[in-house]
Amino acid sequence: MPATIICIGMAGSGKTTFVQRLNSHLHQKKLPPYIINLDPAVLKVPFGCNIDIRDSINYKKVMENYNLGPNGAIVTSLNLFSTKIDQVLNIIKKRDFTNCIVDTPGQIECFVWSASGSIITEAFATEFPTVIAYIIDTPRSSNPSTFMSNMLYACSILYKTKLPMIVVFNKTDIRDAKFAKDWMTDFESFQDSLKNNTELNDETSNGSGYMASLINSMSLMLEEFYSTLDVVSCSAFTGEGFDDFLNAVDNKVDEYNEFYQKERDRIILEKKEKEKKEKDKQLTHLMKDLGIKDKNNLQNKDDIDVLSDIEDEIERDEKAGYEHGLIDLESSEREYTFQEDRNGEIKDDSNASDVAKNIQDRYQQAFESTAKVASSSVAEDIAKYIKGE
């Protein structure tokens, strides 16, 4: 399966130039990649994009419509784009390529710490082997404090995304990254550089200032973290070191298939089991409300009958030749006739007419006798009132 390379890094670390050089390098190898641009605020990109967020989202309109600043507009644009990530993946699946390269915004926090960044990363990691390429500006990292800040950021991204990571020291045409590799592998070398750094130490502290002590402690903590990383130095300007980067990507893809994919499968399985338990819990509540002790009795006709069960039973019995006491109004011979005086339901035969007439006569006699008694009683009451009784 094609690998997805998500390029992340601080502003000014050279991510876009790195993607341009990687694209050119793969084209030279006759392995054209699939490139996605996720930076909505960039004016120009020095490479051809297969999918560009700017084609579907207008960054300036987002700022105007939602009254947002630059960073808020970037986050909102990514949120809007992430709602269509399933369509993006469907398009990518239909293409034939060796690597998919994703260029992210320069404001690293807008992608790494936002919900949309997690959604996009998870979506790619679910479908393809995904590798994080963390780009570092090598000349700026020559300061121990800046170097440690980059390493802490890389550590947090690794544990947040839970994906294989490659640390890429870019701009080696300006300064060689050998010092950084030594700091990651040799703790004493980093301590010596820390003591010799006058920005972190007071003139009288001899390397025991607060910041120096803090960075020294963090370097000890990150020693185990360094051992799990693949470190590559390259130059996006000259193209040096990109073969090493591609070899590191292949190694990380194998690592993804061996370790990370199993972990992701385990997480998905746990999620399905949790959903199944929730469904069983809801079913238990339903059975309790219906007074059913065993869910196997849901199909027991003695415990519960619903309309669909009765209809199925009638259909089976009719096929077997049995008749039910249900009235078919369309084929019924019974006729309904109503007279103007609404005396009741009568039929055409003479016996029924005689019976109806006798009943009507009896009702008429009872009504007349009751009316006479009521009228005489009313008359007596009126006479007594007049006499003053």
* 173-225 residue pLDDT tens: 999 999 999 998 888 888 888 888 765 555 444 445 677 788 888 888 887 78
**pLDDT beyond 60 at 156:** yes
The closest alpha carbon to 109, from 8, 219, 209, 229, belongs to 8
**What are the φ and ψ backbone dihedral angles of 12, each rounded to 5 degrees?**
90, 5
Residue 102: count other Cβ atoms within 10 Å of its Cβ.
23
Residue 62: count other Cβ atoms within 10 Å of its Cβ.
20
pLDDT average, residue stretch 31-52 = 92
The closest alpha carbon to 206, from 217, 197, 219, belongs to 197
- Report DSSP state, residue 101: E
CA atoms 381, 384, 388, 389: torsion sign: negative
- Give the model confidence (pLDDT) of 104-115 as tens digits: 998 888 898 889
- Give the model confidence (pLDDT) of 321-378 as tens digits: 655 444 444 444 444 444 444 444 444 455 556 656 666 677 677 666 665 555 555 5
- What pTM, to 2 d.p., does this model score? 0.67
User: Could you tell me where the DSSP H helices lie in the chain?
Assistant: 15-28, 59-66, 70-82, 85-93, 108-112, 115-127, 144-161, 178-185, 187-196, 210-221, 223-227, 242-255, 261-290, 307-320, 350-387
- Report DSSP state, residue 200: T
Q: In the sheet where 99-103 sits, what is the strand order? A: 51-52, 34-37, 99-103, 3-9, 130-137, 165-170, 230-233
- pLDDT of 373: 54
Greater confidence (335 vs 2) lies with: 2
pLDDT average, residue stretch 273-289 = 83
Quote the CA–CA distance of 170 and 236 in Å, as a whole number.
7
With beta carbons less than 8 A apart as the criterion, state whether 138 and 177 touch: yes
Burial call 265-290: b when 16+ CB within 10 Å, e when fewer: eeeeeeeeeeeeeeeeeeeeeeeeee
Quote the CA–CA distance of 21 and 27 in Å, as a whole number.
10
Beta bridge partners of 168: 135, 232
Give the tokens for residue 149: 């800040």
pLDDT class of 380 with cuts at 50, 70, 90: low
Question: How confident is the prediction for the chain on average, in pLDDT?
Answer: 79
pLDDT class of 25 with cuts at 50, 70, 90: very high
With beta carbons less than 8 A apart as the criterion, state whether 118 and 84 touch: no
**pLDDT beyond 90 at 145:** no
Quote the CA–CA distance of 237 and 14 in Å, as a whole number.
10
With beta carbons less than 8 A apart as the criterion, state whether 158 and 125 touch: no
Quote the CA–CA distance of 40 and 61 in Å, as a whole number.
11
pLDDT average, residue stretch 150-169 = 91
**pLDDT beyond 80 at 165:** yes
